Every structure is written in C-alpha cells, then in structure tokens.
Amino acid sequence: MTPSLHDHLDEIRRQFPALARQAGDYPAAFFDGPAGTQVPQRVIDAVSAYYIQHNANHGGLFPTSRESDDMLAAAHQAAADFVGSDDPGTVAFGANMTTLTLSLSRALARTWGPGDEVIVSRLDHDANFTPWVLAAADAGATVRHIDINPDDCTLDLDDFKSQLSDRTRLVAVGCASNAVGSVNPVKDICRLAHEVGALTFLDAVHFAPHSLIDVEDFGCDFLACSAYKFFGPHIGLLWGRRSLLEELPAFKLRPASNALPDKWMTGTQNHECIAGTLAAIDYLADLGRTVAGDDSLERRPALERAYQAIVDYEQQLIWHLIDGLRPLDTFRLWGIDDPLRRAERLPTISITHSRRTPTEIAEELGRRGLFVWHGNYYALPLTERLGLEPDGMIRVGIVHYNTLEEVDRLLAALRDLS
C-alpha cells in the first residue's frame, strides 16, 4: 500500500462524520461515491457558518452582503485553481451539471443551424447526451454518436475520427465513464475536434473525485463538474474559455450583468453551497499538503499532490477488487480488467451476475452495510448499447476514504452470492 495516503487514512476518515454510521449490525461501507460522496466536517461547518454569520444577497452595502461578495470571490478563485485555470471569472456555479449543461446547450444552439453537426458518445451519462440532442433538434442540426468497443467499454476512436468533419460544431464527451470507469483520451479528442474547427465540451463529473482536472492541458473549450461528487455540497460548476463565454448569447435576465461569471449564473445563487464547495476544494488541497508534508504549498500544487496520492491509493483498492472478482465465474465485469491498462480506468466498476438481478444483489449487499448502486445510473446510452436494459448493472465506486478492509468485506459478500 502506498505510504503517503494510506499512512493518513485514519486521520482522513475521521474528518468525514458520515463514515461512522452503522447499517444494522455492520459499519456502513460507502461504495456509492459515483452517485455522491460524503463530506468532511469542514464542508458542513462552512455551510452552517455561512448561514449563521454571513447570510445575505450579494452586492449590498452592509457587512453580511460584503462578506458574501468576498466569499464568492474566494470560491471562484478556488474553483479556478481546481480546474487548472488562472481566471476566476471563467467558472460559473449553478444548480448542478445537468442544469448548467442544459443552459449552455441553449446558448450554443443559437449559433447552429441545418447542416451543422454535433457529436456525442454512447459512453456518456445522459446529462452529456440529451441536452445536446435536444439543442441540436431545436437548431435543426444533426447529432452523430461515437460508438464504444463493447469488449472493454472504451470509446471507439476510429469511429470518432470517421464522424468528424468540417460540419462538426461541437464534440461533447466525458472525461471518464460513471458506469464502467473508462478514462477517455480527452487531449486527443479535443485536438482532433479543433483540427476541424469544432468546439469541445467535457463532462468531468465522474473524473473530479479521482484525478486532477486541467482545462489547459486537456485543451477543451468547456468543462462541467459537480461538487457533490468531490466531497462538497450539491452544486455544479461550469468552466469555459473567456472569449467564448463573453461572445456566446447566454439565456439571462435583462438587469443581470454581462460581466463574467455573472452572465452565466442566472438567478440568486446557492451561497451556502458555494461556501461549502470552497471548503471541499480546500479539504483536498490540505490533503495534498498533508501527504507532501509541506504546509506551505499553494492551492494548485497542493491539489496536484493530493490527486497523485489519491490515484495511487485508489488504484491499489480497485485492482484488489478486480483481482478478487476474477475467480467468481458467475459475475461479469464490464470494462477494462487488464492490469497493464491501469491508467485507462478509474476505481469504478460495474458487474452483472448470470442469475441474480442487480436489484437483488444491491439489496443483499445493502443488508450487509455495503452501499452499492444498481440500474443504469443515467448512463443510459451505454446500458442500451450493451443490451443491459432494463435491469442494468451493479456499480461499486471506490473513493479515497474507502479501505482495503471494506473491499475485502465486499468480496466476501460477493463470494457468498456467486
């Protein structure tokens, strides 16, 4: 086990009050991270401190409002550090990734017309699929679909290349699959899209708790994620290139400022959750400082160190799980199972059983305090493509607060059910 994060695991877990929960006779094991992670105490404290000390609308000339303005500015800066941008004005907060994507898709569709094409993928969550299908339909544009390689549940890049053309206006793909954990080669995808003059939108919701987002390195034009998947509250974030956010015709009210990021943050914001998001990002940065043993690290390099440790630790756990599943013939793992391809998968797996339904398995695991998900988790384009509807699969998601002992408990339960 990697010394860095594992050495601090008790200290990390103690920060998450929910992890102390019992489920009947068992300690709760939260393998439901892909549907939403638990939060550290400092996030809970930040939300309640906002209500107790600073609760006000922004832009007023009195202390609580000025404090709210300061908190918002600090949160935008933290969010920019989180996605790898040096421009805090380019990150908008909003209800969640789905709602932010729906509103960006409305704005982009105003620039499309018949003959234009939009490319989406069958590996994606529906939130990075249907908003573009609906927007294209309104604009009279055509939607193309990138297929998957069903054997390992990865994107079919040859298919992608064959669909790109000078008619392509947007390529929308995920950084990683929330169902099977495959990581997409987003740098290559963005480069190829730009070569034909298309814009790129990345869904980083599933990627964000596991790996460092770097919008400049990815070379994307837009990227969205959700704080509740990376140890924060229920709120979404949208980053875009400044020039595009400035030029695009956003759907907004007349008095609302055209300045960034306000242009893209419609209505009164969820200040308490924005304060909680700031605390979640600082939790991750402090994790990086702890594993690096260096309190003086700035936020971005601290986040880099945190994610190096997270990747290393989570990889140990997920391959322990995958290796433990191999002898269980009745279970099928969907996605990459070749240990030589570690870098291509996140610690999220989906499995099916040859006789038992996902509901039956998830119910039994739930009884044993093992919280897993079942069904399609909105990765409907994928479960349809794999012919797994209506039952779907069983999803086990590992994050950095999970333990090897929890994985062993899960394997023992799966053995009993095999």
The residue whose two tokens read 């299908």 is: 133
Q: Which residue, 174 or 288, is less far from ligand PLP as judged by CB?
A: 174
226 binding ligand PLP? (CB under 6 A): yes
Q: Which residue, 98 or 350, is less far from ligand PLP as judged by CB?
A: 98
Mark the segment that binds ligand PLP (CB under 6 A) among 95-103, 249-257, 330-338, 399-407.
95-103
261 binding ligand PLP? (CB under 6 A): no
Q: Which residue, 15 or 177, is less far from ligand PLP as judged by CB?
A: 177
174 binding ligand PLP? (CB under 6 A): yes
Q: Which residue, 306 or 380, is less far from ligand PLP as judged by CB?
A: 380
143, 133 in Cβ contact below 8 A?
A: yes
Torsion angle of alpha carbons 55, 58, 64, 68, nearest 10°?
80
CB of 96 to ligand PLP, least distance (A): 3
374 binding ligand PLP? (CB under 6 A): no
Dmax over CA atoms of the chain, in Å, equals: 67
Q: Which residue, 168 or 226, is less far from ligand PLP as judged by CB?
A: 226
Beta bridge partners of 203: 174, 224
CB of 100 to ligand PLP, least distance (A): 8
CA-wise closest residue to 99 among 130, 139, 57, 69? 130
d(CA 414, CA 326): 11
Instruction: Return the amino acid letter for 91.
Output: V
Q: Which residue, 176 or 291, is less far from ligand PLP as judged by CB?
A: 176
Mark the segment that binds ligand PLP (CB under 6 A) among 44-52, 60-68, 121-129, 259-267.
121-129
Structure tokens at 120: 């989406």
CA-wise closest residue to 373 among 34, 18, 20, 39? 34
397 binding ligand PLP? (CB under 6 A): no
d(CA 112, CA 169): 8
Of residues 31 through 60, those in contact with ligand PLP by CB under 6 A are 34
Q: Which residue, 97 or 362, is less far from ligand PLP as judged by CB?
A: 97
- Binder to ligand PLP among 127, 274, 361, 399 (CB under 6 A)? 127
105 binding ligand PLP? (CB under 6 A): no
205 binding ligand PLP? (CB under 6 A): yes
d(CA 215, CA 196): 20
Residue 43: partners with Cβ closer than 8 Å, 6 or more residues away: 231, 232, 233, 276, 279, 280, 283
131 binding ligand PLP? (CB under 6 A): no
96 binding ligand PLP? (CB under 6 A): yes
CB of 358 to ligand PLP, least distance (A): 17
- Binder to ligand PLP among 42, 54, 125, 345 (CB under 6 A)? 125
d(CA 280, CA 269): 18
Q: Which residue, 5 or 225, is less far from ligand PLP as judged by CB?
A: 225
d(CA 117, CA 159): 15
What are the angstrom distances between the C-alpha of 113 and each of 131, 169, 221, 246, 251? 16, 10, 20, 21, 18
Give how many residues touch ligand PLP by CB under 6 A.
15
Q: Which residue, 5 or 148, is less far from ligand PLP as judged by CB?
A: 148
Mark the segment that binds ligand PLP (CB under 6 A) among 55-63, 186-194, 200-208, 391-399.
200-208
- Per-residue DSSP letters for 30-53? E-BGGG-----HHHHHHHHHIIII
Residues that bind ligand PLP (CB under 6 A): 34, 96-98, 125, 127-128, 174, 178, 203, 205-206, 226, 236, 378
